[in-house]
Amino acid sequence: MAVREAEPVSSLQEVHDAGLDREDLLGIYRNLLTTRGIEERGHILYKQGKIPGSFYTGRGNEASAVGVATAMGPHDVGTPLQRAMGVHVTRGLEPWRIFAQYMGRADGPTRGRDGNVHIGDANLGLYAMVSHLPAMLPVAVGMALAFRIREEKRVAIAWCGEGASARGDAHEGMNLAGVRKLPVIFWIDNNQWAYSTPSHLEYAVEHLADRAAAYGFEGVVVDGTDVLAVYREAKRAIEKAREGGGPTLIESVTLRMEGHAVHDDAFYVPRELFEEWARRDPIERFRAWLRDHAEMTDAEEDEITSGVKRLLNESLQRAEESPLPDPGTLVAAVYAQPEELDTPHHK
Amino acid sequence: MPEKTYLQAISDGLREEMRRDQRVFVLGEDVGVYGGAFKVTLGFQEEFGPWRVIDMPLAETAILAGATGAALMGMRPVAEMQFADFVSCGWDHLVTVAAKQHFRAGTPIPIVVRLPSGGGFSGGPFHSQTAESSSAHIPGLKVVCPSTPADAKGLLLSAIEDPNPVLFCEHKHLYRRIKGDVPEERYTVPFGEARMHRHGEDVTVITWGAMVYTADEAAQRLAQEDDLSVEILDLRTIIPWDREAVLDSVRRCSKVLVLHEDTRTGGFGGEIAATIAEEAFEHLDGPVRRMAAPDSPVPFAPNLEKAFIPQVDDVVRALRELAAY
């Protein structure tokens, strides 16, 4: 099974065929802007000293995240990572809760107990990452295993980076998924740098998607700055998995446009590479596409831009009003109580 | 009430729970067609099918993380490590994800990890270890070490019901050696309640797992030869552990030996000894004694293994010293 390199999406008809109408397209644009806006505001909060610890962004990866999340069904689940804020935004995590999480406040999804981008709201089908990447990848495979046992038509998305793909968890998870043909998509955001380590020191194959063949499923490479191509490939793989066709490994290629975290100026990334990928900025690219192919008007664009700005201003204010977490809750939070399983989900 | 081996009690308890609750399923290496390395799940796959008794690839992280993922989706997985020793291959998952998930994300992880534990068979350094002390140090995990067939069944059902990751340390040296009455009906044994194995007055032994029987033999000999009355308290669960029962026994007997098969330094016995020193100091008539395996890997040669695992003679000697103090 050879790896397939996905073509860009050109016409509006192709987009309609993939299941998106014009409203959806404008919604994608709004989600892209919201994602970047959250992380830009986060930078400011960090510089103001309002974010403890470190701060991580996914600049350059917005389309890869929003595109996949748009393709997910309402009952699908996933374990997104630190460059995939757009997944949370697209599935409806309110920005004020993201800011509250950044600042370690009581209203963040982890209530101050875990930091920064370790975000996930199970009510939205999203489960927070841990730092030991990609430890949540085989967990997503376990979610798919549950779907398979119960014969539910649901799909799990397991995120991974090109750096974390070197770790055994990725192999064990992919191998199990291949053996059991589980409904899971392995989404590798290949942003070319794992902290300061370039791809050629992480793996020796041409494409990470080449590995899919070793696990007995299909591998696809997609341009992660092309939100529509990302959406189309994710949708295709998700629906295939839903119908019992097993896993797909999709390698979405981008460039990490900032350092590993806010303290890192990425001096080791060649300047020309940044310049080249800046010209392929995913948001600017989609904006141009909407102008050319979907006739997005100035009025529509202004409405979206000002709406996002207003949302983020209000969200920041609300997050700053969120209380600090209560140290008295620390030990009691460690173990779950029996009544916590008394939910429709666990019955 | 039927008499069953410790192994049969675990097997029957698990099978009955799988009949009762569709969410319960088993995953592990060779658990299906083969029935598990120790035959705990013998015949399960015929009854429940290949998707509830899942033969997994030889990959402990996939087994444990797979269990966690399924639990997050509402299942009640019971994962088998072929030997407790192999849990180290999936340790990162347990410590990093399963143990911390509720604390940080608020989502319960109701998984059971069955760990065939302990030595006594020349299994050598990689098929003989006990994991309870290392596990007990990880907030978020619960650790269970039954010693009787009835407790093995009742604690297993509590473990499956529990909304947290539970390490179920079943001792291999008890599997077929120990028999006892096991109620036919469904029952649970609560976590955190010790079992009084033997009442005594002069000295108490705090222990669990296979060491309960080592202590029992020592106590019988001391009753005959020394007219010494030895109490034995079987903790049954390590996390949570029954501090009140331990302190009560210490206050009554005034002398205490903490005994376990795990190695000494950093072993859970140290935590028990420290708690006794903090909370029952005035009631002690002698120093808190610990007996544990020495700080070495589990050895292979039978004479070396006997030197490693506390033996009846060792316990007798320690209790005599304590009594004479």
Q: What average pLDDT does this structure show over A295-316? A: 98
Counting the structural domains of chain A, the total is 1
Give domain status of residue A43, yes or no: yes
Give domain status of residue A286, yes or no: yes
- Taking only the tens place, the pLDDT of each residue in A101-135 is 999 999 999 999 998 899 999 999 999 999 999 99
Question: Structural domain of residue A45, as residue ranges?
Answer: 4-207+233-316
- % of chain A with per-residue pLDDT over 90: 92
pLDDT (tens, 9 = 90+) of chain B, 325 residues, equals 899 999 999 999 999 999 999 999 999 999 999 999 999 999 999 999 999 999 999 999 999 999 999 999 999 999 999 999 999 999 999 999 999 999 999 999 999 999 999 999 999 999 999 999 999 999 999 999 999 999 999 999 999 999 999 999 999 999 999 999 999 999 999 999 999 999 999 999 999 999 999 999 999 999 999 999 999 999 999 999 999 999 999 999 999 999 999 999 999 999 999 999 999 999 999 999 999 999 999 999 999 999 999 999 999 999 999 999 9
Query: Given this model, what pLDDT does residue B94 score?
Result: 98
- Taking only the tens place, the pLDDT of each residue in A22-46 is 999 999 999 999 999 999 999 999 9
Q: What average pLDDT does this structure show over A48-64? A: 96
Q: Is A47 exposed, middle or buried (0-12, 13-18, 19+ CB in 10 A)?
A: exposed
CB contact B265 to A (< 8 Å): no
Cβ neighbours of residue A218 closer than 8 Å, sequence gap 6 or more: A1, A4, A212, A237, A248, A249
- Taking only the tens place, the pLDDT of each residue in B26-40 is 999 999 999 999 999
Q: Considering only the beta carbons, identify the residue of A110, A147, A336 that sits closest to B108.
A: A336
Interface of B with A in 37-76 (CB under 8 A): 51-52, 54, 56-57, 59, 61-62, 65-75
Q: How far is CA A3 from CA A8, A222, B223, in A?
A: 16, 11, 75
Q: What is the mean pLDDT of chain A?
A: 95
Give domain status of residue A332, yes or no: no
Give domain status of residue A87, yes or no: yes
Calculate how close chain B gets to A147, using CA atoms only, in Å.
8
Does residue A9 carry a pLDDT above 90? no
Query: Given this model, what pLDDT does residue B67 score?
Result: 98
Does residue A347 carry a pLDDT above 80? no
DSSP string for A27-74? HHHHHHHHHHHHHHHHHHHHHTT-S-S-----TT-HHHHHHHHHHS-T
Give domain status of residue A172, yes or no: yes
DSSP string for B52-93? TEEE--S-HHHHHHHHHHHHHTT-EEEEE-SSGGGGGGGHHI
Please provide the distance, in angstroms rounded to a whole number, between the alpha carbons at the two ends of chain A: 41
Query: Given this model, what pLDDT does residue A11 score?
Result: 84
Q: Domain with A278 in it: what CATH number?
A: 3.40.50.970
Interface of A with B in 250-279 (CB under 8 A): none
Interface of A with B in 142-161 (CB under 8 A): 142-150, 156
Give domain status of residue A223, yes or no: no
Give domain status of residue A226, yes or no: no
Q: Please name the amino acid found at residue B115.
A: L
Decide if A336 and B102 are in contact by the 8 Å CB cutoff.
yes
Does residue A1 carry a pLDDT above 60? no
Polymer length in residues for chain B: 325
CB contact B192 to A (< 8 Å): no
Using alpha carbons only, give the angle A319, A311, A28 rounded to the nearest 5 degrees.
120
User: Looking at beta carbons, which residues of chain B come within 8 Å of A172?
Assistant: 57, 59, 61-62, 65
Q: What is the mean pLDDT of chain B?
A: 98
ipTM of the predicted structure?
Answer: 0.96
Query: Given this model, what pLDDT does residue A10 score?
Result: 77
> What is the spatial distance between Cα A256 and Cα A209, in angstroms, rounded to a whole number?
19
Give domain status of residue A342, yes or no: no
Annotation says B127 is catalytic: yes
Query: Given this model, what pLDDT does residue A344 score?
Result: 60
Decide if B104 and A141 are in contact by the 8 Å CB cutoff.
no
- A107 conformational bin, left if phi > 0, alpha if psi -120 to 50, beta if neither: alpha
B159: closest chain A residue by CA: A338
B15 token code pair:
């099978």
Ordered domains of chain B (ranges, CATH): 3-181 (3.40.50.970), 195-324 (3.40.50.920)
Does residue A168 carry a pLDDT above 70? yes
- Taking only the tens place, the pLDDT of each residue in A182-228 is 999 999 999 999 999 999 999 999 999 999 999 999 999 999 999 99
